[in-house]
Structure 1
Amino acid sequence: MPPEAIFPDLDRHHRNTELECTMFIFDAPYISDVAEAFLIESQAPLLKNEFSMESISNKANQVSEDEAIKELERQNFRWVYSNSENAIGWIVKTFGADSDLAKKIELFKNKGTFRKATATLFPDITFIEIPASEVETFTFDRVGSPFIIKPSVGFISAGVHRVNNSDEWETVRGDLLKETEETAKAFPKEVLSSTSFIIESIIDGDEFAVDAYFDDENKPVILNILHHKFSDEHDMSDRLYLTSAEIINTHRAPIEAFLCDIATLGDFRGLPFHAEIRIDAENTIRPIEINPLRFAGWCSTDIAHYAYGINVYDYFANKKTPDWPTILEASGTDTHAMAVIERPTPLSDNQRFDYDKLEESVSSVHALRKMDYRTFPLYAFLFFRVSPETSHELDMMLTLDPDAFVAS
């Protein structure tokens, strides 16, 4: 389906005044048809860069760097959205690491900086940051209890491990740097780096991901809540995310209160973000990380479009708040899922991934997005729906072996 066909009722010649205050920066590795359709139909200003010229229709309103810089300065560097953390490099290069926007990004993107900034809000989360050079000599006894280790600047769960004891640490330590360095080759250093790692205490509870933004009053506006499912305690993958009326009805109010606490750390008006949190048995919410400038990566935030008819780019650009009671009443009892099908190891030239077989593995597909698995460690993003009668497909997807879909 061409991008223009997704929102045929929008008048591309009509420029909403709010959109003139919102800057979009799209960069590698991926743009979805939903995102591209929004850019074309809304004519929201889009920074012209190498990726946009190669991968986005020239019907979008692509503006020069000079125009983008003037607009960002005029808006005090608020109301800017990027699909990709690759944009961080351009922002730092253009405005400097000491600029207000770069400092906001650094506060959230660098996990060590974020833990220090939120230490008074969450004093029970302990952490240590170490350079890569100390990984080889770091011992489990220095912490003495189970911990999570991950890159201080990370993405797609690369290099993230749970360690329960010294034997497990010996195994993790042996592969950690190689694993992280190999994945980091596909991304800029602002997105994923193997130069330092953060070791932090285990945060108990169910994991959730939240796409939201801070409005003109520095209050959070939630656009979706996803339950991040794992196969076991050692599973740190991004394999499966679920959203439903029940999930949002249950957790929206307490998550809004949690995000209001985060807002006390600074002026984040006009900042979109993707938060990852855990909610324990006492309903206490603690942050895993908050990723600034974007929603769920690789345009997987579009699950809100498939599940609820919410176009997150439109809601952000026009400063809209979802009418959740009305939306959820109409959404029914189905669960909407997003499966990230990772590529465990590179394929040989004579091997290929069988997308038809993957799509046939579930009964109701919203969309199947094929990835460049020769370049990136991902095969696909699969968006699908299950009813109470087909919910077993979620467990199947959670334990799915990607190699079973590789053909010669």
Structure 2
Amino acid sequence: MFFIDKPYVSDFFKKSVRDHGIPVVATKIAKEIGLYDGTKMISEEQAIAMAREQDIFPVYTTSENAIGWLAKHFPFSDLPEKIELFKDKGKFRKMTQSIFPGLYFREVAVEELHELQLEDIPLPFIIKPSVGFFSMGVYKVANSAEWQKTVALIYQEIEEIRGLYPDEVLDTSSFIIEQCINGEEFAIDAYYDESGTPVILSIFRHTFASDSDVSDRVYTTSKKIVEENLAEFTEFVGKIGVLADVKSFPVHIELRRESNGMLLPIEVNPMRFGGWCTTADMTFSAYGLNPYLYYYTQQKPDWDELLQGKEGKLFSLIVLDNSTGIDGSVIKSFDYEKLLAGFEQVLELRKVDYTSYPVFGFLFTETREENFAELKNILNSDLKEFIEIDQVI
């Protein structure tokens, strides 16, 4: 059964569940979000009864907002406990300590941040909410001089994002401090099948503008990226699955490969693929592989076939996060046409209400490898060139 919730459900997702008869739980939000006629709906009571009758069955959520529903209505199941193992970054680090024993981490209550002494903490480090989403509240601290400034920024951002997401999705009451994990970063959509075997559905390389950048601007997949990493990443995902003992369980994983070749997890997001229906939909645009359907029917991709004819092509998801430093409430307009003119082939543009969320939209593109410069340009842009404001700032 699939769950849908705010903030966003794509047309591709709606079409997928309707055309393939995937049952959607008829929560209040599901009834209001505009699913297509003909979508198979099951009542909340039916969903609970099905969960009581079956130990293992595919559950998927478009948004982590639905995690609260699962925690409330599936207390008889181990699913809420499995979700929390991944969603709570402190619990996740403790669970995986045996396979990543040298990785430093520490949890700190938000009210204790301004009193924290850095003598025993390895620098540089990353600090982020223990339960977080979408790079919100994530900062890199390179030295002790930056610390108090960072604390002030954290407290400021907490006020700005308060109420955007439920506590199950973004909880800023505690933070986790982790040693910096260096190296090339990747994002993976995957699932564990009914026997717990890992199945990789997509691999994206996450490109950053600089060493201090922690944004979610550009994610790229290609034939080369998939082929070079598929076997190693499958083994990596499998090790985590053994520790968590999960079955019929979708995940979105962020990891890095350090200079010595070691793979280390940044985080594992449970019960979904990339947020806002992004990486899964982009995978279909790139390769014709529908991750929602593959998970629901427990299919395994034939990557040799899917990658045929994809040589020399880069398929990118571009997150147009509001990096202007200007609050969305005073931005009069965003020039999407000017934005699109900077790309040789746009596959899809999704506009977002930037007055409600700190993002202007999402862009899917296809780029020739030799034209990587167009991706570099948007990566380095603060997006101020595309906005018009209501008043002088």
Give the TM-score, by structure 2 length.
0.95
Taking a change above 3 Å as real, the CA distance of residues 398 and 102 of structure 1, as seen in their structure-2 partners, is: same
1:225 aligned onto 2:206: no
Greater displacement, 324-333 / 68-77: 68-77
Work out whether 1:385 is the aligned partner of 2:363.
no
Indicate the SS of the match to 2:319. Answer: strand
Aligned to 1:252: 230
Which range moves more in the overlay, 242-251 or 323-332?
A: 323-332
Letter of the structure 2 residue corresponding to residue 173 of structure 1:
V
* 1:139 maps onto 2:120 in alignment: no
Equivalent of 2:68 in 54, 74, 89: 89
Map 1:203-218 → 2, pairs under 5 A: 203-218=181-196
Candidates 73, 89, 94, aligned match of 1:116: 94
**CA displacement at 1:388 relative to structure 2:** 2.5
For 1:70-219, what aligned pairs fall within 5 Å after superposition?
70-76=49-55, 78-96=57-75, 99-219=77-197
Listed one character per residue, the Cα deviations across residues 39-58 of structure 1 (whole Å, up to 9, x for unaligned) are 11112110112222122224
Q: Give deviations 1:20-55, integer Å, cap 9, x for gaps.
A: xxx000110001111010111112110112222122
State how 1:303-318 maps to structure 2 within 5 Å.
Answer: 303-318=282-297
Residue 216 of structure 2: aligned partner: 238
**Conserved? CA contact 2:322–2:358, under 8 Å:** yes
1:363 aligns with 2:341: no
- The amino acid across from 2:345 in the alignment is S
1:326 to 290, 293, 305: 305
Following TM superposition, by how much is the alpha carbon of 1:354 offset from its aligned partner in structure 2, in angstroms?
Answer: 1.7
Quick one: distance in 2 between partners of 1:292 and 1:154?
Answer: 12
Deviations 1:228-274 (A, max 9, x none): 11111111111110000000111111111111111221321100000
Structure 1 residues 350 and 237, CA, compared in 2 at 3 Å: closer, same or farther? closer
Secondary structure of the residue aligned to 2:103 is coil
Cα distance in 2 for partners of 1:377, 1:299 equals 17
SS in structure 2 opposite 1:241?
A: strand
Worse-superposed segment, 203-212 or 396-405: 396-405
> 1:194 aligns to what SS in structure 2?
strand
The answer to whether 1:272 aligns with 2:250 is yes
The 3-state SS of whatever aligns with 1:330 is coil
Runs of 4+ off more than 6 Å: none
Shift of 1:144: 4.3
Q: How much has 1:382 moved relative to structure 2?
A: 0.4
Residues 24-35 of structure 1 correspond to what in structure 2 (within 5 A)? 24-35=2-13
On the 8 A contact 1:214/1:221 being kept in 2, the answer is yes
Aligned to 1:195, the other structure's residue is in SS state strand
Shift of 1:346: 2.4
Partner of residue 395 from structure 1, selected from 367, 376, 381: 376
> By how many angstroms is 1:390 displaced?
1.9
Given the alignment, which residue of 343, 351, 365 partners 2:322? 343
Give the equivalent residue in structure 2 for 1:352: 333
CA distance in 2, matches of 1:35, 1:41: 10
Aligned-partner SS, 2:131: coil
Q: Can you list the C-alpha shifts for 1:89-113, whole angstroms capped at 9, x where unaligned?
A: 10111123x7400000000000000
One-letter amino acid matched to 2:248: G
CA distance in 1, matches of 2:230, 2:86: 22
Q: TM-score, normalised by structure 1?
A: 0.91
Counterpart-to-counterpart distance in 2, 1:81 and 1:350: 35
2:28 maps to what in 1? 50
Contact residue 208 and residue 225 of structure 1 kept, 8 A: yes
- Distance change (3 Å), C-alpha of 1:262 and 1:176: same
Could you tell me how far 1:186 is from its partner in structure 2?
0.8
Q: Is the 8 A contact 1:216 1:269 kept in 2?
A: yes
CA shift, 1:77, in A, is 5.2
**Stretch of structure 1 that moved more, 182-191 or 332-341:** 182-191
Residue aligned with 2:307, SS = helix
Following superposition, the deviation at residue 350 of structure 1 comes to 6.7
Checking the alignment, whether the CA contact within 8 Å between 2:89 and 2:131 is kept in structure 1 is yes
Please report how far the alpha carbon of residue 407 of structure 1 lies from its aligned counterpart in structure 2 after TM superposition.
2.3
Is residue 374 of structure 1 aligned with residue 340 of structure 2?
no
Q: Is the 8 A contact 1:45 1:62 kept in 2?
A: yes
Give the aligned length.
385
Pair 380,265 (structure 1): closer, same or farther in 2 beyond 3 Å: same
Residue 174 of structure 1 and its aligned partner are, at CA, apart by 1.3
* Pairwise CA RMSD: 1.4
d(CA) in 2 for partners of 1:31, 1:52 = 10
